[in-house]
Amino acid sequence: MANIAFIGLGNMGSPMAINLVKAGHQVCVFDLADEAVSKVVAAGAVTKKTAAECVQNAQFIISMLPAGKHVDAVYLTEKTGLINYIEPNSLVIDSSTIDAATSCKVAQALAQKKIGFVDAPVSGGVGGAVAGTLSFMVGGSLAEFEQASPILEAMGKNIFHAGEHGAGQIAKACNNMLLSILMIGTSEALQLGMANGLDPKVLSNIMSKSSGSNWTLDVYNPCPDVMDNVPSSNNYQGGFMVDLMAKDLGLAMETALASHSSTPLGALARSLYAMHANTGNGSKDFSSIFNVFNLPSK
Amino acid sequence: MANIAFIGLGNMGSPMAINLVKAGHQVCVFDLADEAVSKVVAAGAVTKKTAAECVQNAQFIISMLPAGKHVDAVYLTEKTGLINYIEPNSLVIDSSTIDAATSCKVAQALAQKKIGFVDAPVSGGVGGAVAGTLSFMVGGSLAEFEQASPILEAMGKNIFHAGEHGAGQIAKACNNMLLSILMIGTSEALQLGMANGLDPKVLSNIMSKSSGSNWTLDVYNPCPDVMDNVPSSNNYQGGFMVDLMAKDLGLAMETALASHSSTPLGALARSLYAMHANTGNGSKDFSSIFNVFNLPSK
Amino acid sequence: MANIAFIGLGNMGSPMAINLVKAGHQVCVFDLADEAVSKVVAAGAVTKKTAAECVQNAQFIISMLPAGKHVDAVYLTEKTGLINYIEPNSLVIDSSTIDAATSCKVAQALAQKKIGFVDAPVSGGVGGAVAGTLSFMVGGSLAEFEQASPILEAMGKNIFHAGEHGAGQIAKACNNMLLSILMIGTSEALQLGMANGLDPKVLSNIMSKSSGSNWTLDVYNPCPDVMDNVPSSNNYQGGFMVDLMAKDLGLAMETALASHSSTPLGALARSLYAMHANTGNGSKDFSSIFNVFNLPSK
Amino acid sequence: MANIAFIGLGNMGSPMAINLVKAGHQVCVFDLADEAVSKVVAAGAVTKKTAAECVQNAQFIISMLPAGKHVDAVYLTEKTGLINYIEPNSLVIDSSTIDAATSCKVAQALAQKKIGFVDAPVSGGVGGAVAGTLSFMVGGSLAEFEQASPILEAMGKNIFHAGEHGAGQIAKACNNMLLSILMIGTSEALQLGMANGLDPKVLSNIMSKSSGSNWTLDVYNPCPDVMDNVPSSNNYQGGFMVDLMAKDLGLAMETALASHSSTPLGALARSLYAMHANTGNGSKDFSSIFNVFNLPSK
C-alpha cells in the first residue's frame, strides 16, 4: 500500500480519494473547502494544514483541479509550489482535465527534480468516480504509466496508455469532441424522424442496430422516455453538465488551433454548446442539446 | 413459396433476386440491361419481354430503382404503368432509396386498386446483398409488414417495422444522415489526435471503449491501416460510395426542408460530402472523407 | 397604358397593384380575400368574379403567390387553369418567389400557346412595394425582359435581367442565401466584440469602413440602438420576417441539392434560421437572429 | 517631427517605416534581417546594433511582429526586454496582429514605468502599407490615442479609436472573422448561381446592388474575370494570404473561447480556411476559397 497525497476534493476528487482509502492506501488530502476535507477524513483519510505538508512523504501525489492555471500554480509557483516539497522518485498523477501544453510544462519542470509525472484525465462522471469505474487516459513514459496503474486501478476500470506527456489530455479532448458530435448528430436524427412521424423508440432501435449506432444513441439516449435511468428521462438532471462539455470543447478547439487542424463539425458543436449554455442550460445534462432541435408544438 | 416479380437488377438488385431464387421462390426478373438479366436467369430466375408481363401473376412485386422519378414512372405512368397490370391483393415491396413523398403517393394509388405496398429501403451494401444480410427499414401497415417479412427474410437478417407508408424511407434518411456525421466526426477526432502526436490505433482503441464509441470508429475505421478488411486499408475501394452518401444526404435534407427541421451538423455533412464528390472522389468509399482533414506532410 | 390582370393581393401584391393603377394602367385584380380586393378596387382597380375573366383581355398577367404549387395550379390546372384563358402574345409576369423548376415548367407550357413568361421575384419588402422601389430579378428572353420592363418600372426601381427562364428565381435564391450569411456573420462579429468590451456603435463604424462592410452592417444593423429606423431598434418588428427568410433559404437549399452544390455556410444559415423560427421567432424581423448569440447578462 | 524607433521590418513593417521617413520623422529601425534594414536605411532611416539602442531616445516605439510571443519577448524579457530601455512618457505603438491578452499585459507592464502603449493593428495589406492608406484600429486611453494619431497618419488614412487597451486587437479579430464569412458566403452564392446557369458578372452586379452587397463582392470579387485588378483575376496571386487569414481566424477563435461566445459561421470559416491552407493553398490570396466550391467540369 502506498502513501498518497490528494489535492482537490470537488465532486470528482472526493469520491476518488475515498476509493483510494477503501483500497487500503494511506491518503493525506487537501482542499481549501473544509467541508469537503471533513467528509473524506471521515472516510479514513488524514489531512494537513497545507498541501505542502501533505506531499512531503507521499510516494504519489494526485491532483484534481479545475483548469490549467490552477495546476500550473499549485505545482510551479516560485518558492511555494509543490515542486519544492515533493520528494524525488515520487510520481505526480494529474487527473485534472486541462490543456496538454500545461501538462507538458509541469512534467518537464518536475523531471528536473527527478519527480515523475503523468497526465491522467478521466471520463465516467461523478457516478463513475463513486463506483470506482472511471476511465483514465494516461500520458507519460511507459515506466511512469506502469508506476501509476496500480494506484489508478483503485479508482477506475479502464486504464489507457495514450502516449507521452500530454497525450492523455489530447486523447480526452479528441474523445469528448467526438462525443459532442455524436450527441448532437443523434439529437438531429431523432428529431428529424419525429418531425416526420416516427416513434423515437422505434427509430432509436433501428439506428442502434444499424450503422447509426453510437454511444449516445445506445446507452444515453437524449430523447425523453426512450430509456430509463438516463438524464433525458429525468428532466436532464444529473449526468455530464453542458458547462463541462463546453469547457472540454474549448480545450479541443485550442488543441485544433495549435496544430492548424480543420474540425468543422467539432467547431460547430462547440458553438452550439456555447449557445446552449448561454441560454440558461449550463447546469443541465449535455443531452439537453436535444431540445435545441424541437419543433413548435402544434 | 411465392411468385415474385423483381424489377431493377443493378449492383444491389441482382444478388437480392438471386437470394430469392436460392430460397426457393419463383422469380421473374426484368431490367433494361440484358446482361444483368442473363446473369440472374442463369441462377434460376425466369424473365419476360416486359415488366408488365412479369408482374401479371406475381404475389409480390419487388423494385430496386435509382430514384423517386423512376419508381413513380414504373408504377404510375398512365396506361403503361405497372399499376395497370398488378393483381389485387398482391404486395409491392419497393426497396429503392427514394423520397418518402413518392413512396406515399405510390402507396395511395395502389391502395385504390387493392394492391398492398411497403417501402423497404435497405442498408448493408453490395456485400450484405450478396450475403443475404441486409437490413430492411419497412414502412406500411402492420398487416403489410407481416406479409412482406417472410420474403424479406430471404434477403436480409434485420427486418424493422419503422411505421406507416414512407416511414421506411424516413428511417433510412435519418440513419444515413447520422452515419455521415459519425464518419466525419470520427475522422476529425482521429486527425486531431494524430496532428498532436497520437497513434491512430491507440486513440481508436481508447475512444472505442469510451463515450466516443460509434459504428464508424468501431467497425469501419476511416484511418488507413488501423483495421484490416475495411475500405480505408484498401485505398478506399469498395464499400459505400461517396456519390451514394451524397444522394442519401440529399434525401435527408429534402426531408428536413419539408418539416422545417433544423439539422446543422447534417446540413454541414451534406455540403462536405458534396465538396468531396465534386473534387473527384465520388466513386471512393465514403470513409475517404478522412483525407479532407489531412495535415500537410512535413 | 396597358391592360393588366393582377392575381394575388397579399401584403406585397396589394401595394404593387395600386402602384400600377397610379401609373395609369387598367388593372383588373383577383384574390380569394374580398377585403384585399375591395381595398385595391377603392384605389382605382376593377375586379371580376373569377381570375379567368380577369385575364381574358389582359396584355399582361402579373401573379404574386405564396409557393410553387400555387403558381402551378393557377396557371396549369387542367381545364380551369389560366393557360386556357390567356390570349396569345400577352405576357405573364410571375413575381412569386418560388423554385426555378416550376417557373421553367410554366414558361414552357405557356410558350406552346404563344404566351410569353418571365419569372420576376422581388426584393425590397412591403416598404419597397408601397414606395414603388422594389428590385426585380427577371428570368426570360431578352424580348420578354424588354416587354416586361415598362410595366415593372411602375413598381420598382432596379430591374435586372438575370438570364433565361428561371434565372430570376436563381438570382433571388443566391442573393437571399448570401443575405442570411451576412446577417448571421455580422451578428456574430458584433456580439463577439461586445462580449469583449467593445461598444457596438464603435465597432459597427470601424467594420463598416473596413473590409467587414456589408449591407446588413451598413444599413440594417442587427444590434438594437446602433441605428435608428431599423427593426432592431423597434423590437425587431416590421422588416423581413424570419419565416420568409427560412422559406427563401429552403428554396436556396433545394437549388443547391439539384445542382450538387456545396454551400456549407448557406446550409448552416438555413438550420440556424429554422431553429430561430422553431423557437417562436418566426414573425420577427430576420435581424433578430442577433439574439441567438447573446451572452447571459451578468 | 518625432524621434521614432521601428522594430520589425517585414513585408508590412518596411514600407510603413519608409512612409514615416518620407513624412519627415527621424526613424531608427531594427530587424534581425540585415537586408530589410539596408533597404529602409537606403530610404533615409538610421539603424543601431541593437533594438535597445534604437529605443533609447525615441518618443515613439513602433513594433510590427509576427505573434504575441514575439511582442511579449521583445518588450518584457527580464533584463534585456525593451521595457528596460524605453524612456518614461514615450509611447509604444504595437501594430502587430496578436491576442488582446498579450497587448493588455504589455500595456500594464509599461504603465508601471510610465510608458504609454497602444495596440494598433492594421488592415489594408502590403498595398496599403506602401501607399500609406492603412486602417489602424487603436486600443488605449483617449490621451494615448491622440498622442499616437499624428504618427499613424503618416502611414494610414483611417485611424479608429476602438476602446481601451486590447480593443484594437479585438476590433481587428471581429472584422477579419466577418471578412472571412463574407468571402466564403459570396463564393458559395456565386458558385450556386453559376452551377444553375447564371453568368457570374450578371449575378455579381445584381447582388452588389441588392441586399447581398458586401466588400468582397463589390471590390474584391473571388470569381476570376469578373473584375480586373483583383487577385482572382491574377491566379490568386498577391493580396491577403490564406495563411494570414487562417492566423487571424485563430485569434478570433481564441477570443471567442475566452468569452464563451458562440460563433458558428466564424468557427466554420476557420475550419474551411485551415482545410484550404492544409491542401497547399496557404500562399494564395484568401479569395481562392472560391475554388473549394467548384463543380466538376463537364
| Domain CATH code at residue A37 | 3.40.50.720
Q: Show the domain range for A136.
A: 3-164
Please provide residue B159's backbone torsions phi and psi, each rounded to the nearest 5 degrees: -115, 110
CA separation for the pair A142, A147 (Å, rounded):
9
Q: What confidence category does residue B238 fall into, taking pLDDT thresholds of 50, 70 and 90? A: confident
Would you say residue B298 lies in a domain?
no
CA distance D290 to chain C (A): 11
Minimum-distance CB partner of D196 among C182, C198, C259? C259
Q: Which residues of B touch A292 (CB under 8 A)?
A: 262
CB crowding D82-94: b at 16 or more within 10 Å, else e? bbebbeeebbbbb
Q: Is A295 exposed, middle or buried (0-12, 13-18, 19+ CB in 10 A)?
A: middle
| C187 neighbourhood in chain D, CB within 8 Å | none
Are the C-beta atoms of A47 and A54 separated by less than 8 Å? yes
pLDDT tens sequence across B154-197: 999 999 999 999 999 999 999 999 999 999 999 999 999 999 99
Report yes or no on C38 lying in a domain. Answer: yes
The domain boundary, picked from B126, B149, B165, lies at B165
- What's the pLDDT at B298? 60
Whether C298 is in a domain gets the answer: no
Same domain, yes or no: A73 and A20? yes
List residues of C whose CB lies inside 8 A of any B CB.
246, 250, 253-254, 256-257, 260-264, 267-268, 270-272, 274-275, 277-278
User: How high is the pLDDT of residue C199?
Assistant: 98
3-state secondary structure of C289: helix
Chain D hits for C215, Cβ within 8 Å: 210-214
Spatial contact of D168 and D253, defined as CB atoms under 8 Å apart: no
Measured CA to CA, the distance from residue B121 to residue B96 in angstroms comes to 6
Angle value at C-alpha D277, between D272 and D281, nearest 5 degrees? 120
Q: What percent of chain D has pLDDT over 90?
A: 96
C135 has pLDDT over 70: yes
Taking CB atoms and an 8 Å limit, are A268 and C264 in contact across chains? no
Average pLDDT, chain B: 97
Q: What CATH number corresponds to the domain at position B277?
A: 1.10.1040.10
Q: Are residues A133 and A216 in the same domain?
A: no
Residues D150 and D196 in one domain: no
How high is the ipTM of this complex?
0.96
Rounded-to-integer distance, Cα C296 and Cα C229, Å: 27
Task: Look at the block and give the residue holding cell 385504390.
Answer: B112
Whether C297 shows a pLDDT value over 80: the answer reads no
- The domain total for chain B is 2
| Concatenated DSSP letters of C133-202 | -EEEEEES-HHHHHHHHHHHTTTEEEEEEEESTTHHHHHHHHHHHHHHHHHHHHHHHHHHHHHTT--HHH
The confidence score (pLDDT) of residue D150 equals 97
Phi and psi, residue B60, nearest 5°: -130, 135
Return the percentage of chain C with pLDDT > 90, whole number: 96
CA distance C233 to chain A (A): 22
8 Å CB contact of C268 and B268: yes
Looking at every residue in chain C, the average pLDDT score rounds to 97
Cα dihedral across residues B260, B266, B269, B274: positive or negative: negative
Query: Rounded to an integer, what distance in angstroms lies between the CA atom of residue B296 and that of residue A171?
Result: 21
Instruction: Please say which residue of B125, B149, B165 terminates a domain.
Output: B165
A67 and A198 in a single domain? The answer is no
D71 plus D122 within the same structural domain: yes
**Inside any domain, residue C86:** yes
H helices of A43-166, in order, are: 51-55, 68-76, 100-111, 125-131, 142-152
Residue D42: all three cell numbers together = 537606403
Residue of C nearest to A295 (CA): C278
Distances (CA, A) of D197 to B18, C76, C251, D192: 44, 25, 16, 9
Question: Residue C88's pLDDT is what?
Answer: 96
CA-closest candidate to residue D163, choices D203, D119, D124: D119
Which residues, listed in sequence order, are joined to residue C6 by a DSSP beta bridge?
Answer: C29, C62
Mean pLDDT to the nearest integer, B21-28: 98
pLDDT of residue A199: 98
Encode pLDDT of B108-135 as tens digits: 999 999 999 999 999 988 889 999 999 9
| pLDDT range class, residue B297, cuts 50, 70, 90 | confident
* Residue D70: how many other CB atoms lie within 10 Å: 16
- D173 near D251, Cβ under 8 Å? yes
B211: pLDDT confidence band, cut at 50, 70 and 90? very high
Dihedral sign computed on CA atoms, order B92, B94, B95, B100:
negative
The reply to whether C143 falls in a domain is yes
| C216 band by pLDDT with thresholds 50, 70 and 90 | very high
d(CA C43, CA C24): 12
CB D61 within 8 A of CB D90: yes
Best to test chain C binding among D119, D191, D210 (most C CBs inside 10 Å) = D210
Say if the Cβ atoms of B207 and A174 lie within 8 Å.
yes
Amino acid at D156: G
Residues of chain A with pLDDT under 70: 298
Q: Both D15 and D154 in a single domain? A: yes
Q: What is the dihedral of CA C209, D187, D243, A103, to 10 degrees?
A: 100
| Active-site residue, selected from the candidate residues A48, A79, A113, A172 | A172
- Is C64:C120 a contact under the CB 8 Å cutoff? no
DSSP D67: S
Where a domain ends, among D164, D194, D215?
D164
Contacts of A260 in chain D (CB under 8 A): 246, 274, 277-278
D182 shares a domain with D132: no
Q: Do C268 and A264 touch (CB under 8 A)?
A: no
A20 and A55 inside one domain: yes
Q: Give the gap in angstroms from C-alpha B257 to the nearest C-alpha of chain C.
A: 6
Is A81 inside any structural domain?
Answer: yes
In this structure, are A104 and A192 located in the same domain? no
Q: Which residues of D touch C166 (CB under 8 A)?
A: 196-197
Same domain, A140 and A196: no
Quick one: A201 and A115 in the same domain?
A: no
D78: Cβ–Cβ under 8 A, 6 or more apart, which residues?
A: none
Residue B259 in contact with residue B228, Cβ under 8 Å? no
- C-alpha cell recorded at residue C23: 401609373
- A109 with A211, same domain: the answer is no
Residue D260: left (phi > 0), alpha (psi -120 to 50), or beta? left
What's residue D298's pLDDT? 61
Query: SS3 for B28?
Result: strand
Q: Which cell is B55 given?
A: 408482374
Q: Looking at the domain assignment, is residue D298 inside a domain?
A: no
CA angle in degrees (0–180, nearest 5) for C260-C264-C266:
95
Q: How far is A21 from chain D (nearest CA, A)?
A: 38
The answer to whether C280 contacts A268, with C-beta atoms less than 8 Å apart, is no
Q: What is chain C's alpha carbon radius of gyration, rounded to the nearest angstrom?
A: 20
Instruction: Compute the nearest-CA separation of D268 from chain B (Å).
Output: 9
Nearest to A295 among B135, B216, B260 (CB): B260
Residue B23, C-beta contacts closer than 8 angstroms, at least 6 positions apart: B1, B154
pLDDT confidence of residue C238: 87
Pairwise CA distance, residues D173 & D97, whole Å? 9
List the beta strands (DSSP E) in C38-119: 46-47, 60-63, 91-94, 116-119
Reported confidence tier of residue B60, pLDDT bands at 50, 70, 90 = very high
Distance separating alpha carbons of residues B249 and B176, to the nearest angstrom: 7
On whether residue A298 sits in a domain, the answer given is: no
